[in-house]
A and B are shown apart, each in its own frame.
Chain A
Amino acid sequence: MLEETSRIEHYNNTIRKPGMVTPTFSSQSAPIIERAPVPLIEVQGTGHVITFVNPAFCRLLGKASADLVGTPFAHIVPGGDKCVAILDSIYETGEGRTHALEDESGLHPTSWLYAMWPALNAAGVPVGVVIQMTKDALFRQNVTAVNEALLVAGLGQHELRERAEQLNAQLQTEIDKREQIQAALHQAKGQLADHAQELEQTVAERTAKLRETVAELEAFSYSVAHDLRAPLRSLQGYSTSLLEDYAEKLDETARMYLERMARSAVRMDKLIQDVLTYTRLLGGEPKLESIDLDRLVRDLIETYPDWHPLEVNIQIEGKLPRVWGHEALVAQCVSNLVNNALKFVSPGTKPHVRIWAEPIDERSRIWFEDNGVGIAPIDQARIFRMFERIFSENEFEGTGIGLTIVRKAVDRMKGTCGVESELGKGSRFWIELQKAA
């Protein structure tokens, strides 16, 4: 106890400074606050002069105890003057007070917290005030900033979440759309496949139908050949038989009627045969091969009974080339063209036919020139058409199918045909076929 008293004396001595007219107080709280781990200070009197500081307080302000004791509190701490009224009130009320001060003057905004309570004497009367000071970073602002930051962050988060939700929704829409498109695509693919299959089926069906039609046509031709020609042969046969077997019993008119009947039947039979020849050209795809045209034409001329050299003059100039074609079709063309060339001559003129080949690029044009009656330019397009005839039956016999057969036959061999002629100056018919090795 004695020791304590001496220490206070020591303090009192220490804070006493020369020239200062401050009353001397003895610290009431020194023994209690000396070792406190928080900055504590004691003030007394109306001037609130510092009577004691603990080491923690000295560390807080970075000042020595000697510089502080004896100085009014208002002078040593930031905003100290604001504390004066509070300190005054503590004496009046005997109650502790707190005070916070925001100091934004420094580099780092600081918050000063003052907790102030009275030091009472034995009678319970305040004789001084103990102040605890806390210095802290300006947390309120920090809190505000943090709060704001949190709010912003929260808002941001909200916005972000909304945005994310929007994006998700958009994404979902896109995914839905894509799925729809994929489904549509899948369906389209399926439909396409179905269509392709349908198409193939249609093609197959049509091909089958076409084959059927061709087969029917062939059957029809066969039927025509047998059933239509048979009664004609009978008609012709009986009229001829009558003429031969009963000639002496018939007068001239009756004989003429029978002759005409027979001729009509023959003509109709020829028509049917020509039509049959033509329809045979329509069915099936002719297999094309290299044809020795020279040999084929010479063989035809030698074997054809009506082309006897005594009656007609058929001349081949040079050697005819090999052509790409079908032997039967080429033979059909040549015989029809030569027959025409021999047939359409003025009465009394010996038919003369000249045959030669003219190379035209990859093709060969085979010419058949005659000394016949010729064809007027206006008729030249007509003569290749079915049943088109430019002469009457009295002038020249014929069915009007021969050149139609030629045109169809060269067509089947991927060739062409044509005519050059002038009325009264003969005709030059030609067929053009691909050259062959």
Chain B
Amino acid sequence: MNRPVLLVEDDENDILFMCRAFKKAGIVRAPQVATDGRMAIDYLAGNAKFGNRVEYPFPSLILLDLKLPRVMGLEVLKWIRQNFAHNIVVIVLSASQSDADVAEAYRLGANAYLLKPGEVTQLRELVASIRDFWLRQSIVPRRPE
């Protein structure tokens, strides 16, 4: 329930709504945020300040947007699977319904592909279901050393 979540999202509004949805869904720990693909990789690699795992804990779940500055979401996903195999749960959270994006995301090893809801209430429901399924019910791999 207290597992750290990394949100990779560049839109500050979406970040705000996601944090609000987390709070409304009763998830105590606010998600860690990386605002572009490069930062996401640095965070996971523990580069520079992200080496401080007390302040920047290694996530057990990643919510990954696809359209990101500097390094695109699918590139981040590929990097994750190359460096950590399948030891992190990656949920793609995108506005794109493109068949190609969905297929490529799963091919690269996404654990789920969720569509960004248009309404905050739906986002809250979505976050609640993530909480229930991924943070409560699922057994996820232990944090890689």
**Residues of A participating in the B interface, judged by any CB pair closer than 8 Å:** 218, 221-222, 225-226, 229-234, 236-238, 240-241, 262, 265-266, 269-270, 273, 276, 280
Contact = CB atoms under 8 A, between A and B. Distances in A.
Most central of B11, B97, B118 by chain A CB within 10 Å: B118
Contact of A233 (B20, B96, B118): B118
Contact of A218 (B98, B117, B123): B98
Contacts of A221: 98
B119 A266 contact: yes
Interface residues of B, number: 18
A236 B14 CA distance: 12
A276 B118 contact: no
Closest 7 CB pairs of A and B: A234-B13, A269-B118, A237-B120, A240-B120, A237-B17, A225-B95, A226-B95
Contacts of B121: 240
Given A225-B95, A241-B20, A236 B119 contact: yes
Given A218-B98, A222-B96, A230 B11 contact: yes
Contact of A229 (B20, B95, B120): B95
Given A240-B120, A240-B121, A266-B119, A233 B98 contact: no
Contacts, number: 56
18 contacts: A225-B96, A229-B95, A229-B116, A230-B14, A230-B95, A231-B13, A233-B17, A237-B13, A237-B16, A237-B17, A238-B13, A262-B119, A265-B118, A266-B118, A270-B118, A273-B118, A276-B97, A280-B97
Contact of B116 (A233, A241, A262, A265): A233
A221 B97 CA distance: 10
A241 B95 contact: no
B118 A236 contact: yes
B120 A241 contact: yes
Contacts of B38: none
Interface SS of chain B: loop
Given A229-B95, A229-B118, A237-B13, 19 more contacts: A221-B98, A225-B95, A229-B116, A230-B13, A233-B13, A233-B117, A234-B11, A234-B14, A234-B17, A236-B118, A236-B119, A237-B119, A240-B121, A262-B119, A265-B118, A270-B118, A273-B118, A276-B97, A280-B97
B67 interface: yes
Contacts of A240: 119-121
A236 B120 contact: yes
Contacts of B17: 233-234, 237, 241
A183 to B, nearest CB: 55
Nearest to A233: B118
Contacts of B118: 229, 232-233, 236, 265-266, 269-270, 273
Contact of B98 (A222, A231, A241, A266): A222
B122 to A, nearest CB: 10
A254 to B, nearest CB: 18
Contacts of B16: 237
Interface string B84-118: 00000000000111100000000000000000111
Nearest to A265: B118
Interface in B54-93: 67
Interface in B14-68: 14, 16-17, 20, 67
A234 B116 CA distance: 12
Contacts of A266: 118-119
Nearest to A328: B99
A232 B17 CA distance: 13
Nearest to B98: A222
Contacts of B120: 236-237, 240-241
A331 B34 CA distance: 38
A280 B116 CA distance: 19
Contacts of A265: 118
Contacts of B119: 233, 236-237, 240, 262, 266
B14 A233 contact: yes
A262 B122 CA distance: 13
A225 B13 contact: no
B17 to A, nearest CB: 5
Most chain A CB atoms below 10 A, which of B17, B98, B120: B120
Contacts of A238: 13
